[in-house]
Amino acid sequence: MTEAVVTAAPPVVGRSLWGDAWARLKANRAAMVSLCYLVVMAAVCIAGPWFVPHTYTTIYSDYVRIPPSFSAYPKADMIQGALDDVLKRMRVDVKEWKQDGERVIVTVTSTRPVDERYLRYVDRSDTFDGARVEATSPDGLQMTFSAGVKQQYFLFGTDNVGRDLLSRTLMAGRISLAIGLLAGIVAVVIGVFYGSAAGFIGGKTDEVMMRIVDVLYSLPFIFFVIMLVVFFGRNFVLMFLAVGAVLWLDMARIVRGQALSIRRQEYVQAAEALGVGPRGILLRHVIPNLLGPVVIYMTLLVPHVIILESFLSFLGLGVQEPMTSWGVLISTGAKNIGSANWMLLFPAFFLVSTLFALNFVGDGLRDALDPKDR
């Protein structure tokens, strides 16, 4: 007798809403590329400033508004100028100078004895370091010294006062992204609580709560923001919390609408009939179903906030110097396009590419999470 071998069919694994959405998102190439881009952008902006050899506030007065370059500064023709500057401060005349590999050898004369402490001026310059006396004439009126030429890289060039634009752009990215996220979360939290309360309680309360939203809606948005600036001053953390608090209106409307429609669904009625309490319905049905639109709206809100922040900074109302953001950089760049277009182009590229990526991710999420599409 042969034993019947019973092989159980492998259990069908049901896909959850989120698993399904993730699968759909993964199939969307634009969204995935954008997502990776955003991760890289965030990582570069967060970690980058620690790896760039310049800090975002250091002023290199020898390198004001120099164009971006892959090769090191100073360029050959810049040494003369930097040297002249230093020697003017030392109040000595140059007799001759020549470059010897990484160092310059300079012979100077003066009507007074040349003190070797004058060499501090050389070290203080952005171009030279490690100055040392090579020889002094017997009467002390002539001295030969040598100094190393500092090799510095400014991949993105420098700005109006000689600050490295790469470190400033990355720092600005930190601020812009952080503000976008911070204000976005504030808006979503307020909006979700307000909207779901209005939608869930319903009736008169809902009516009143939504009329308040309508009234706030009808005020010109920029008026609102300027009033916030007027009240909160230019403290930017506080202000962007406030901006987040302005942007919750859309969220509240969306969430309320969703909450209302979810409450009327048959599965909620079925749950009610089975004796599930309001808490259970809220946790099991309303909130999970709300999450989709909330996530979509959040990804669309973040670029909105970043634009708003840049706009305010552009007007001089947002982030203040020496702290910086993409809006601040673009604003100064726009004022200097004639002489230094890199000051506009680099920050603008960072901002616009981030906005694009956020948009594609938002669209991808909407396609992935929108149940009407299936």
Partner 1 sequence: MLLYVLRRLLTAIPTLFVIVTLAFFLIRVAPGGPFNQERGLSPEIKANLEAQFGLNDPLWVQYLRYLKNLSQGDFGPSYNLPDFTVGELFAKGLPISIQIGASALVLALLLGTLLGIVAALNQNRTGDYAVIALATAGSTIPTFVIAPIIQLVFGLTWKLLPIGGWGDGALVNKIGPVLTLALPQIAIVARLMRGSMIESLRSHHIRTARALGLSDWSIVVRHALRGAILPIVSFTGPAAAALLTGSIIVETIFAIPGVGRYFVDAALNRDYTLVMGTVVVIAIFTIVFNLIVDIMYAVVDPRVRYD
Give the footprint of partner 1 on this chain (CB under 8 A).
218-220, 222-223, 226-227, 229-231, 303, 307, 310-311, 314-315, 317, 327, 330-331, 333-334, 337-338, 341, 344, 348, 351-352, 355-356, 359
Minimal distance in Å, beta carbon 107 to partner 1?
44
Residue (258 or 332) nearer to partner 1, CB: 332
Minimal distance in Å, beta carbon 355 to partner 1?
5
Structure-token match 């990215």, residue found: 173
Coil/strand/helix, residue 125: coil
Coil/strand/helix, residue 103: strand
Cα separation, 253 vs 209, in Å, equals: 10
Residue (50 or 223) nearer to partner 1, CB: 223
Name the residue among 298, 41, 359, 53 with its Cα closest to residue 173.
Answer: 41
Minimal distance in Å, beta carbon 336 to partner 1?
10
Residue (208 or 270) nearer to partner 1, CB: 208
Minimal distance in Å, beta carbon 348 to partner 1?
5
Minimal distance in Å, beta carbon 327 to partner 1?
8
Residue (64 or 307) nearer to partner 1, CB: 307
Count CB atoms within 10 A of the CB of residue 163.
22
Minimal distance in Å, beta carbon 351 to partner 1?
7
Helices (H) and strands (E) in the chain, counts: 14, 4
Cα separation, 60 vs 233, in Å, equals: 31
Residue (49 or 333) nearer to partner 1, CB: 333
Whether residue 322 has a cis bond before it, omega within 30° of 0 = yes
Minimal distance in Å, beta carbon 296 to partner 1?
16
Minimal distance in Å, beta carbon 358 to partner 1?
9
- Sheet with 142-149, edge to edge strand ranges: 93-100, 103-109, 142-149, 128-136
Name the residue among 94, 140, 145, 142 with its Cα closest to residue 123.
Answer: 145
Q: Is the torsion defined by CA of 326, 329, 331, 336 positive or negative?
A: negative
Residue (282 or 307) nearer to partner 1, CB: 307
Minimal distance in Å, beta carbon 220 to partner 1?
6
Residue (142 or 332) nearer to partner 1, CB: 332
Cα separation, 90 vs 114, in Å, equals: 9
Element (H, E) at 369: helix 342-369
Element (H, E) at 98: strand 93-100
Q: Is the torsion defined by CA of 319, 320, 326, 328 positive or negative?
A: positive
Cα separation, 166 vs 173, in Å, equals: 11
Cα separation, 59 vs 115, in Å, equals: 28
Residue (7 or 218) nearer to partner 1, CB: 218
Residue (57 or 336) nearer to partner 1, CB: 336
